[in-house]
A = this chain, B = another copy of it.
Amino acid sequence: MTLTAPSTYKALTEQEAIRLAQSLDVFASSATLQCEEIGDGNLNYVFRITDSATGHGLIIKQALPYAKVVGESWPLTLHRATIEANALKLHGSLAKGRVPEVYATDAALAVTVMEDLSQLTILRNGLIDGKHYPKLAEHIGSYLAHTLFHTSDFGLHPFEKKRLAAEFSNPELCKITEDLIFTDPFFDHDTNDFEEPLREAAQAIWDNEPLKFEVAKLKRSFLTEAEALLHGDLHTGSIFVDEDDTKVIDPEFAFYGPIGFDIGLFLANLIVQAITRSGEERELIVQDITQTWQVFEQQFSGLWESDGIETYKTTTGYREYAIEKIFHDAIGFAGCELIRRTIGLAHVRDLDDIADESTRIDRKRQTLKAGETLIQTRREYQSIKQLETAIKELSK
Protein backbone atom coordinates (compact mmCIF):
# COMPACT_ATOMS: atom_id res chain seq x y z
CA MET A 1 0.00 0.00 0.00
CA THR A 2 1.26 3.51 -0.71
CA LEU A 3 0.45 6.70 1.06
CA THR A 4 -0.61 9.97 -0.48
CA ALA A 5 1.55 12.18 1.66
CA PRO A 6 3.65 15.33 1.51
CA SER A 7 7.28 14.62 0.68
CA THR A 8 8.75 16.62 3.55
CA TYR A 9 8.23 16.15 7.25
CA LYS A 10 5.49 17.92 9.14
CA ALA A 11 3.77 16.88 12.33
CA LEU A 12 0.29 15.61 11.44
CA THR A 13 -2.94 17.08 12.76
CA GLU A 14 -5.84 14.74 13.52
CA GLN A 15 -7.56 15.88 10.30
CA GLU A 16 -4.42 15.15 8.28
CA ALA A 17 -4.15 11.73 9.91
CA ILE A 18 -7.73 11.00 8.81
CA ARG A 19 -6.98 12.13 5.24
CA LEU A 20 -3.92 9.93 5.24
CA ALA A 21 -5.99 6.95 6.39
CA GLN A 22 -8.57 7.66 3.69
CA SER A 23 -5.87 7.44 1.04
CA LEU A 24 -5.34 3.77 1.93
CA ASP A 25 -7.48 0.88 0.71
CA VAL A 26 -8.62 0.03 4.20
CA PHE A 27 -11.85 1.86 4.81
CA ALA A 28 -14.93 2.13 2.59
CA SER A 29 -14.86 5.46 0.75
CA SER A 30 -18.18 6.33 2.41
CA ALA A 31 -16.88 5.55 5.92
CA THR A 32 -17.00 8.21 8.61
CA LEU A 33 -13.60 8.14 10.30
CA GLN A 34 -12.84 9.28 13.81
CA CYS A 35 -9.39 10.13 15.07
CA GLU A 36 -7.94 10.09 18.56
CA GLU A 37 -4.32 10.86 19.49
CA ILE A 38 -3.42 8.28 22.13
CA GLY A 39 0.39 8.66 22.37
CA ASP A 40 2.11 10.15 25.37
CA GLY A 41 3.49 12.91 23.15
CA ASN A 42 7.03 12.54 24.40
CA LEU A 43 8.49 10.80 21.37
CA ASN A 44 5.71 10.05 18.90
CA TYR A 45 2.17 10.85 17.88
CA VAL A 46 -0.07 7.79 17.89
CA PHE A 47 -3.35 8.36 16.05
CA ARG A 48 -6.11 5.79 16.26
CA ILE A 49 -8.41 6.08 13.26
CA THR A 50 -11.75 4.29 13.59
CA ASP A 51 -14.67 3.69 11.25
CA SER A 52 -17.60 4.85 13.39
CA ALA A 53 -19.98 2.38 11.76
CA THR A 54 -17.90 -0.81 12.00
CA GLY A 55 -15.55 0.01 14.88
CA HIS A 56 -12.75 -1.20 12.63
CA GLY A 57 -9.56 0.83 12.95
CA LEU A 58 -5.86 1.31 12.39
CA ILE A 59 -2.94 3.11 13.99
CA ILE A 60 -0.88 5.87 12.43
CA LYS A 61 2.31 6.34 14.39
CA GLN A 62 4.44 9.37 13.61
CA ALA A 63 7.88 10.01 15.10
CA LEU A 64 8.42 13.51 16.44
CA PRO A 65 11.78 15.18 15.72
CA TYR A 66 12.59 15.46 19.42
CA ALA A 67 12.32 13.54 22.68
CA LYS A 68 10.76 15.06 25.75
CA VAL A 69 11.87 13.62 29.07
CA VAL A 70 11.21 15.29 32.44
CA GLY A 71 10.49 18.61 30.79
CA GLU A 72 13.68 18.60 28.72
CA SER A 73 13.55 18.34 24.95
CA TRP A 74 16.32 17.22 22.65
CA PRO A 75 16.45 16.50 18.92
CA LEU A 76 16.09 12.86 17.93
CA THR A 77 16.44 11.34 14.47
CA LEU A 78 13.25 10.73 12.46
CA HIS A 79 15.06 7.76 10.89
CA ARG A 80 13.91 5.75 13.90
CA ALA A 81 10.47 5.50 12.25
CA THR A 82 12.05 3.67 9.31
CA ILE A 83 14.06 1.45 11.68
CA GLU A 84 10.88 0.63 13.62
CA ALA A 85 8.77 -0.12 10.54
CA ASN A 86 11.47 -2.31 9.00
CA ALA A 87 12.05 -4.16 12.28
CA LEU A 88 8.30 -4.76 12.66
CA LYS A 89 8.15 -6.19 9.15
CA LEU A 90 11.22 -8.39 9.55
CA HIS A 91 10.46 -9.62 13.05
CA GLY A 92 6.83 -10.14 12.04
CA SER A 93 7.93 -12.40 9.21
CA LEU A 94 10.07 -14.44 11.63
CA ALA A 95 7.73 -14.62 14.63
CA LYS A 96 4.32 -15.02 13.05
CA GLY A 97 1.51 -13.30 14.91
CA ARG A 98 3.75 -11.74 17.55
CA VAL A 99 4.09 -8.31 15.92
CA PRO A 100 1.43 -5.88 14.61
CA GLU A 101 0.93 -5.94 10.87
CA VAL A 102 2.39 -2.96 9.02
CA TYR A 103 0.02 -1.59 6.32
CA ALA A 104 2.12 1.26 4.97
CA THR A 105 5.08 3.49 5.74
CA ASP A 106 6.38 6.90 4.74
CA ALA A 107 10.00 7.69 5.54
CA ALA A 108 9.74 11.45 4.88
CA LEU A 109 6.75 11.82 7.19
CA ALA A 110 8.30 9.31 9.66
CA VAL A 111 4.94 7.53 9.63
CA THR A 112 4.02 3.87 10.08
CA VAL A 113 0.44 2.73 9.49
CA MET A 114 -0.29 -0.50 11.35
CA GLU A 115 -2.72 -2.86 12.94
CA ASP A 116 -4.87 -1.41 15.73
CA LEU A 117 -4.29 -3.39 18.93
CA SER A 118 -6.69 -1.41 21.14
CA GLN A 119 -8.46 -4.57 22.19
CA LEU A 120 -5.26 -5.55 24.03
CA THR A 121 -3.67 -4.11 27.18
CA ILE A 122 -0.14 -2.85 27.67
CA LEU A 123 1.53 -5.65 29.65
CA ARG A 124 3.00 -3.32 32.26
CA ASN A 125 -0.43 -1.90 33.05
CA GLY A 126 -2.01 -5.34 33.26
CA LEU A 127 0.73 -6.62 35.55
CA ILE A 128 0.49 -3.57 37.82
CA ASP A 129 -3.26 -4.31 38.05
CA GLY A 130 -2.33 -7.78 39.32
CA LYS A 131 -3.23 -9.66 36.16
CA HIS A 132 -1.47 -12.77 34.90
CA TYR A 133 -1.26 -13.75 31.22
CA PRO A 134 -1.07 -17.52 30.70
CA LYS A 135 0.31 -17.30 27.14
CA LEU A 136 2.87 -14.58 27.79
CA ALA A 137 5.96 -16.69 28.53
CA GLU A 138 5.31 -19.10 25.65
CA HIS A 139 4.71 -16.24 23.22
CA ILE A 140 7.67 -14.08 24.22
CA GLY A 141 10.06 -17.05 24.54
CA SER A 142 9.10 -18.07 21.02
CA TYR A 143 9.29 -14.50 19.67
CA LEU A 144 12.81 -14.18 21.11
CA ALA A 145 13.98 -17.54 19.75
CA HIS A 146 12.72 -16.90 16.22
CA THR A 147 13.67 -13.24 15.78
CA LEU A 148 17.11 -13.67 17.33
CA PHE A 149 18.09 -17.01 15.80
CA HIS A 150 17.06 -16.12 12.26
CA THR A 151 18.89 -12.78 12.24
CA SER A 152 22.09 -14.24 13.76
CA ASP A 153 25.06 -15.82 12.01
CA PHE A 154 23.75 -19.16 13.30
CA GLY A 155 20.75 -18.92 10.99
CA LEU A 156 21.41 -16.27 8.35
CA HIS A 157 23.91 -16.07 5.48
CA PRO A 158 26.66 -13.59 6.39
CA PHE A 159 25.93 -11.41 3.34
CA GLU A 160 22.33 -10.88 4.43
CA LYS A 161 23.32 -10.51 8.09
CA LYS A 162 25.87 -7.80 7.29
CA ARG A 163 23.40 -6.04 4.98
CA LEU A 164 20.86 -5.95 7.82
CA ALA A 165 23.50 -4.86 10.36
CA ALA A 166 24.32 -1.84 8.17
CA GLU A 167 20.64 -1.11 7.43
CA PHE A 168 19.78 -1.18 11.13
CA SER A 169 22.72 0.97 12.22
CA ASN A 170 20.97 3.07 14.88
CA PRO A 171 23.59 5.28 16.57
CA GLU A 172 21.32 7.87 18.19
CA LEU A 173 18.99 5.41 19.88
CA CYS A 174 21.87 3.12 20.87
CA LYS A 175 23.52 6.15 22.53
CA ILE A 176 20.43 6.61 24.70
CA THR A 177 20.79 3.02 25.93
CA GLU A 178 24.58 3.33 26.31
CA ASP A 179 24.09 6.37 28.54
CA LEU A 180 20.87 5.62 30.40
CA ILE A 181 21.28 1.88 31.02
CA PHE A 182 25.02 1.29 31.05
CA THR A 183 26.68 4.50 32.18
CA ASP A 184 24.80 7.27 34.00
CA PRO A 185 23.19 5.16 36.78
CA PHE A 186 26.63 3.89 37.78
CA PHE A 187 28.08 7.36 38.25
CA ASP A 188 26.79 10.44 40.09
CA HIS A 189 25.40 11.80 36.84
CA ASP A 190 22.84 14.60 36.54
CA THR A 191 20.44 12.50 34.46
CA ASN A 192 19.91 10.23 37.47
CA ASP A 193 16.62 10.59 39.32
CA PHE A 194 15.88 8.99 42.68
CA GLU A 195 14.21 9.65 45.98
CA GLU A 196 16.47 10.99 48.70
CA PRO A 197 16.20 7.91 50.96
CA LEU A 198 17.91 5.94 48.15
CA ARG A 199 20.99 8.19 48.07
CA GLU A 200 23.02 5.89 50.27
CA ALA A 201 22.23 2.88 48.07
CA ALA A 202 23.02 4.89 44.93
CA GLN A 203 26.31 6.09 46.42
CA ALA A 204 27.18 2.48 47.28
CA ILE A 205 26.72 1.57 43.60
CA TRP A 206 28.87 4.46 42.45
CA ASP A 207 31.57 3.37 44.89
CA ASN A 208 31.38 -0.33 43.97
CA GLU A 209 34.37 -0.80 41.66
CA PRO A 210 33.92 -4.57 41.12
CA LEU A 211 30.28 -3.93 40.12
CA LYS A 212 31.29 -1.15 37.72
CA PHE A 213 33.97 -3.39 36.20
CA GLU A 214 31.25 -5.95 35.37
CA VAL A 215 28.97 -3.24 33.95
CA ALA A 216 31.86 -1.96 31.83
CA LYS A 217 32.12 -5.46 30.32
CA LEU A 218 28.37 -5.59 29.66
CA LYS A 219 28.47 -2.13 28.07
CA ARG A 220 31.37 -3.27 25.87
CA SER A 221 29.25 -6.23 24.79
CA PHE A 222 26.38 -3.87 23.92
CA LEU A 223 28.73 -1.59 21.97
CA THR A 224 30.57 -4.26 19.98
CA GLU A 225 28.76 -7.61 19.77
CA ALA A 226 26.61 -7.62 16.62
CA GLU A 227 24.95 -10.98 17.23
CA ALA A 228 21.35 -10.51 16.07
CA LEU A 229 18.76 -7.89 15.16
CA LEU A 230 17.40 -6.93 18.58
CA HIS A 231 14.14 -5.27 19.46
CA GLY A 232 16.38 -3.10 21.62
CA ASP A 233 13.83 -1.94 24.22
CA LEU A 234 11.84 -5.03 25.19
CA HIS A 235 10.33 -3.93 28.49
CA THR A 236 6.76 -4.66 29.56
CA GLY A 237 5.60 -1.31 28.16
CA SER A 238 6.55 -2.55 24.66
CA ILE A 239 4.17 -5.52 24.76
CA PHE A 240 0.40 -5.72 24.22
CA VAL A 241 -1.45 -8.68 25.76
CA ASP A 242 -4.68 -10.36 26.66
CA GLU A 243 -5.47 -13.89 27.80
CA ASP A 244 -4.79 -15.36 24.35
CA ASP A 245 -2.61 -12.96 22.44
CA THR A 246 0.74 -11.18 22.74
CA LYS A 247 2.11 -8.51 20.40
CA VAL A 248 5.51 -6.84 20.60
CA ILE A 249 5.50 -3.17 19.55
CA ASP A 250 7.84 -0.16 19.38
CA PRO A 251 11.17 -1.61 18.08
CA GLU A 252 12.58 1.85 17.33
CA PHE A 253 15.76 0.93 19.25
CA ALA A 254 16.34 -2.07 16.92
CA PHE A 255 19.98 -2.69 16.00
CA TYR A 256 22.48 -5.54 15.76
CA GLY A 257 23.51 -6.29 19.33
CA PRO A 258 24.03 -9.09 21.86
CA ILE A 259 21.18 -11.64 21.91
CA GLY A 260 20.97 -11.61 25.71
CA PHE A 261 19.98 -7.95 25.75
CA ASP A 262 16.36 -8.42 24.63
CA ILE A 263 15.96 -11.39 26.97
CA GLY A 264 17.54 -9.57 29.89
CA LEU A 265 15.35 -6.48 29.57
CA PHE A 266 12.17 -8.55 29.46
CA LEU A 267 13.20 -10.70 32.44
CA ALA A 268 14.22 -7.62 34.46
CA ASN A 269 10.80 -6.08 34.04
CA LEU A 270 9.22 -9.33 35.26
CA ILE A 271 11.65 -9.37 38.21
CA VAL A 272 10.41 -5.90 39.18
CA GLN A 273 6.91 -7.39 39.24
CA ALA A 274 8.11 -10.33 41.33
CA ILE A 275 9.56 -7.83 43.80
CA THR A 276 6.31 -5.85 44.06
CA ARG A 277 4.13 -8.97 44.44
CA SER A 278 3.89 -11.61 47.14
CA GLY A 279 2.69 -15.17 47.67
CA GLU A 280 1.07 -16.93 44.76
CA GLU A 281 0.99 -13.78 42.65
CA ARG A 282 4.76 -13.61 42.85
CA GLU A 283 5.08 -17.30 42.15
CA LEU A 284 3.17 -16.88 38.88
CA ILE A 285 5.60 -14.19 37.72
CA VAL A 286 8.65 -16.23 38.72
CA GLN A 287 7.22 -19.13 36.72
CA ASP A 288 6.82 -16.80 33.73
CA ILE A 289 10.52 -15.91 34.00
CA THR A 290 11.53 -19.56 34.10
CA GLN A 291 9.17 -20.54 31.30
CA THR A 292 10.24 -17.67 29.04
CA TRP A 293 13.84 -18.84 29.22
CA GLN A 294 12.88 -22.50 28.83
CA VAL A 295 10.79 -21.79 25.72
CA PHE A 296 13.54 -19.59 24.30
CA GLU A 297 16.23 -22.18 24.97
CA GLN A 298 14.18 -25.07 23.61
CA GLN A 299 13.10 -23.29 20.43
CA PHE A 300 16.51 -21.68 19.82
CA SER A 301 18.07 -25.15 20.15
CA GLY A 302 15.44 -26.57 17.83
CA LEU A 303 16.14 -23.91 15.20
CA TRP A 304 19.87 -24.55 15.61
CA GLU A 305 19.21 -28.20 14.69
CA SER A 306 16.68 -27.61 11.93
CA ASP A 307 17.78 -24.33 10.35
CA GLY A 308 21.35 -23.77 11.54
CA ILE A 309 23.85 -22.92 8.79
CA GLU A 310 27.04 -22.67 10.89
CA THR A 311 29.53 -25.36 9.85
CA TYR A 312 30.50 -25.80 13.51
CA LYS A 313 26.89 -26.36 14.62
CA THR A 314 27.51 -30.00 15.48
CA THR A 315 30.91 -29.40 17.11
CA THR A 316 30.82 -30.84 20.61
CA GLY A 317 29.89 -28.20 23.16
CA TYR A 318 29.32 -25.29 20.76
CA ARG A 319 25.55 -25.02 21.01
CA GLU A 320 25.68 -25.27 24.80
CA TYR A 321 28.41 -22.62 24.86
CA ALA A 322 26.42 -20.26 22.65
CA ILE A 323 23.29 -20.66 24.77
CA GLU A 324 25.20 -20.31 28.03
CA LYS A 325 26.72 -17.05 26.80
CA ILE A 326 23.23 -15.75 25.99
CA PHE A 327 22.02 -16.85 29.44
CA HIS A 328 24.82 -15.13 31.35
CA ASP A 329 24.61 -12.00 29.19
CA ALA A 330 20.84 -11.85 29.77
CA ILE A 331 21.26 -12.05 33.55
CA GLY A 332 23.84 -9.25 33.48
CA PHE A 333 21.73 -7.03 31.23
CA ALA A 334 18.72 -7.70 33.47
CA GLY A 335 20.77 -6.44 36.41
CA CYS A 336 21.61 -3.18 34.61
CA GLU A 337 17.94 -2.66 33.71
CA LEU A 338 16.89 -3.19 37.35
CA ILE A 339 19.30 -0.52 38.55
CA ARG A 340 18.56 2.05 35.89
CA ARG A 341 14.78 1.70 36.38
CA THR A 342 15.30 2.58 40.05
CA ILE A 343 17.85 5.40 40.13
CA GLY A 344 18.31 6.30 36.45
CA LEU A 345 16.37 8.73 34.28
CA ALA A 346 13.53 6.47 33.12
CA HIS A 347 11.54 4.84 35.90
CA VAL A 348 8.77 2.25 35.91
CA ARG A 349 5.29 2.72 37.34
CA ASP A 350 5.54 -0.74 38.96
CA LEU A 351 7.78 0.86 41.57
CA ASP A 352 7.00 4.59 41.42
CA ASP A 353 3.25 4.05 41.88
CA ILE A 354 3.59 2.21 45.18
CA ALA A 355 1.73 4.68 47.38
CA ASP A 356 3.26 3.90 50.75
CA GLU A 357 6.68 5.56 50.93
CA SER A 358 8.30 3.04 53.24
CA THR A 359 7.16 0.09 51.10
CA ARG A 360 8.17 1.91 47.91
CA ILE A 361 11.68 2.64 49.19
CA ASP A 362 12.04 -0.94 50.43
CA ARG A 363 11.03 -2.35 47.06
CA LYS A 364 13.40 0.01 45.26
CA ARG A 365 16.26 -0.99 47.58
CA GLN A 366 15.42 -4.62 46.83
CA THR A 367 15.44 -3.88 43.10
CA LEU A 368 18.87 -2.26 43.36
CA LYS A 369 20.15 -5.19 45.39
CA ALA A 370 18.75 -7.67 42.87
CA GLY A 371 20.42 -5.73 40.05
CA GLU A 372 23.80 -5.69 41.77
CA THR A 373 23.58 -9.40 42.60
CA LEU A 374 22.61 -10.47 39.09
CA ILE A 375 25.39 -8.41 37.49
CA GLN A 376 28.08 -9.69 39.81
CA THR A 377 27.06 -13.34 40.00
CA ARG A 378 25.73 -13.82 36.47
CA ARG A 379 28.34 -16.39 35.46
CA GLU A 380 27.60 -18.59 38.50
CA TYR A 381 24.16 -19.69 37.32
CA GLN A 382 24.34 -23.06 35.61
CA SER A 383 20.62 -23.45 34.93
CA ILE A 384 17.37 -21.52 34.86
CA LYS A 385 16.32 -23.36 38.02
CA GLN A 386 19.32 -21.92 39.87
CA LEU A 387 18.39 -18.47 38.61
CA GLU A 388 14.78 -19.06 39.65
CA THR A 389 15.91 -19.86 43.19
CA ALA A 390 17.99 -16.69 43.29
CA ILE A 391 15.13 -14.55 41.98
CA LYS A 392 12.78 -15.99 44.59
CA GLU A 393 15.30 -15.09 47.28
CA LEU A 394 15.94 -11.60 45.87
CA SER A 395 12.24 -10.78 45.47
CA LYS A 396 11.18 -11.97 48.93
Report A's interface with B, CB cutoff 8 A: 153, 158-159, 162-163, 165-166, 169-172, 174-175, 178, 183, 187, 209-210, 212-213, 215-217, 219-220, 223-227, 310-312, 315-318, 321-322
Known contacts A153-B220, A226-B224; A312/B166 CB under 8 A? no
Cβ contact within 8 Å between A175 and B159: yes
Chain B residues positioned under 8 Å from A158 (CB to CB): 171, 174-175, 178, 223
Task: Give the interface SS of chain A, mostly helix, strand, loop or mixed.
Answer: helix
Q: State how many angstroms separate the Cβ of A258 from the closest Cβ of chain B.
A: 8
Complex contact A163–B171 (CB within 8 A): yes
Name the contact of A166 in the complex, choosing from B153, B169, B223 (C-beta under 8 A).
B169
Please determine whether B315 and A153 come into contact, CB atoms closer than 8 angstroms. Answer: no
> CA separation between A318 and B213, bound complex, in Å?
6
Chain B residues whose CB sits within 8 angstroms of the CB of A162 once the complex forms: 169-171, 174
A226: chain B residues at CB < 8 Å are 224-226
Contacts of A215 in B (CB 8 A): 312
Q: Nearest Cβ in chain B — how far from A229, in angstroms?
A: 12
Contact B321 A213 (CB under 8 A): yes
Chain B residue nearest to A255 in the complex (CB): B162
Q: Is the CB of A159 within 8 A of B187?
A: no
> A218 → chain B, closest Cβ, in Å?
10
A223 engages B315 (CB within 8 Å): no
Smallest Cβ-Cβ distance to A312: which chain B residue: B216
What's the nearest-Cβ distance from chain B to residue A225, in Å? 5
Residue of B175, B217, B315 near A216 (CB, 8 A) is B315
What is the minimal beta-carbon distance from A11 to any residue of chain B, in angstroms? 25
Residue of B nearest to A179 (CB): B311
Distance from A287 Cβ to chain B, minimum over Cβ atoms (Å): 32
Task: Give the 9 A-B CB pairs with smallest separation, nearest first.
Answer: A216-B312, A162-B171, A209-B316, A166-B166, A166-B169, A159-B171, A153-B223, A212-B315, A216-B318
A315 touches B169 (CB 8 A): no
Residues of chain B contacted by A163 (CB below 8 angstroms): 169, 171
20 A-B residue pairs with CB within 8 Å: A153-B220, A153-B223, A162-B169, A162-B170, A162-B171, A162-B174, A163-B169, A165-B166, A165-B169, A166-B166, A213-B315, A213-B318, A213-B321, A216-B318, A216-B321, A224-B225, A224-B226, A224-B227, A225-B225, A225-B226
A224→B183 contact, CB < 8 A: no
CA gap between A183 and B310 in the complex, in Å: 9
Shortest beta-carbon distance from A203 to chain B in Å: 16
CB neighbours (8 Å) of A209 from chain B are: 315-317
- Distance in angstroms from A327 CB to nearest chain B CB is 16
Q: With a CB–CB cut-off of 8 A, which chain B residues contact A317?
A: 209, 213
Residue in A165, A170, A216 with the greatest tally of chain B CB atoms within 10 Å:
A216
A166 to B166, CA, bound (A): 5
Q: What is the chain B residue whose CB lies nearest that of A209?
A: B316
Task: Please determine whether A187 and B153 come into contact, CB atoms closer than 8 angstroms.
Answer: no
Beyond the given pairs A158-B175, A209-B315, A225-B226, 14 more chain A to chain B contacts, judged by CB atoms under 8 angstroms and listed by A's residue number, are: A162-B171, A163-B169, A165-B166, A165-B169, A209-B316, A212-B315, A213-B312, A213-B317, A213-B321, A216-B318, A216-B321, A217-B318, A224-B227, A225-B225
Cα distance A187–B314 in the bound complex, in angstroms: 12
A257 smallest CB distance to B (angstroms): 10
Q: CA A318 – CA B165 in complex, angstroms?
A: 28
Decide: B316 and A213 in contact? CB cutoff 8 A: yes
Tell me, in angstroms, the Cα distance from A32 to B293 when the chains sit together: 73
